[in-house]
């Protein structure tokens, strides 16, 4: 493993290099020196800024060999590929629910603890994850940076855009294991009035 001499004075976490320690310390200081010229959003590291800028360019260089779906970063691809193999290695000790990533487990555990560490400076509403806060803040700013090419409709988040685009492609990747009926989203599968197997198990099909 080698020597890991770089320790954070704030939390005691240890790193292999000084550059990784500096990146980590920005969590404590709130420093975000790398700014996106398109929307002015700032990031703690240049690598995260690079991934973010792919949103504006529509660039998704990491492709799943199983189904062809592509992603902005290798981490997103690795996490997604666990859907195909059913790998959910991160389990909640409180309720037994398992997740494809440790970060998703951490956010989930806040349901049990009631912790909402991310607060909106505009209205004071707090959230379990930074991504939930970011989506919420777009209500105040009116920002809708994600545009659908066929119809030019704009959305607050990439997930809302991807869900919308299935209207154009007629893609229905959420398949009920009970009756094999397909749906555009998990929520449609669980709420459709013509589908009797609500809350049953499902699989992601051909995504």
pTM exceeding 0.85: no
Task: Specify the DSSP class assigned to residue 205.
Answer: -
- Look at 32 and 53; give whichever has higher pLDDT: 32
Average pLDDT over residues 191-201: 52
Q: Residues 6 or more apart from 192 whose CB is under 8 A from it?
A: 183, 198
Residues 139, 125: contact at Cβ < 8 Å?
no
Percent of the chain with pLDDT strictly greater than 70:
86
Average pLDDT over residues 77-86: 79
Does position 190 have pLDDT exceeding 70, yes or no? no
- Look at 193 and 113; give whichever has higher pLDDT: 113
pLDDT category at 188 given cuts 50, 70, 90 is low
* Integer angstrom CA distances of residue 140 from 32, 121, 143: 21, 10, 8
- Calpha distance 7→29 (Å, rounded): 16
Average pLDDT over residues 51-61: 78
Q: What is the pLDDT of residues 141-152, one digit of tens each?
A: 888 877 888 888
* Integer angstrom CA distances of residue 51 from 35, 92, 116: 12, 29, 26
Q: What is the CA radius of gyration of the chain?
A: 20
């Amino acid at each position: 493993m080698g020597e890991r001499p770089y320790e954070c004075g704030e939390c005691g976490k240890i790193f292999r290099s000084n550059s990784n320690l500096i990146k980590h310390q920005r969590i404590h200081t709130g420093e975000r020196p790398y700014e996106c010229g398109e929307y002015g959003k700032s990031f703690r590291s240049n690598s995260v800024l690079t991934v973010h800028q792919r949103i504006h360019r529509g660039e998704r260089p990491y492709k799943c060999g199983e189904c062809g779906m592509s992603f902005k970063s290798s981490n997103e691809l690795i996490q997604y590929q666990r859907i195909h193999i059913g790998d959910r290695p991160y389990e909640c000790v409180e309720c037994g629910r398992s997740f494809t990533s440790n970060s998703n487990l951490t956010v989930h555990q806040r349901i049990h603890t009631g912790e909402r560490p991310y607060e909106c400076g505009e209205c004071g509403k707090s959230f379990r994850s930074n991504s939930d806060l970011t989506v919420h803040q777009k209500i105040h700013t009116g920002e809708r940076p994600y545009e659908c090419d066929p119809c030019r409709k704009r959305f607050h988040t990439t997930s809302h855009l991807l869900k919308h685009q299935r209207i154009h492609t007629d893609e229905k990747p959420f398949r009920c294991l009970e009756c094999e009926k397909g749906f555009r989203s998990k929520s449609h599968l669980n709420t459709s009035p013509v589908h009797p197997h609500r809350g049953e198990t499902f699989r992601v099909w051909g995504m």
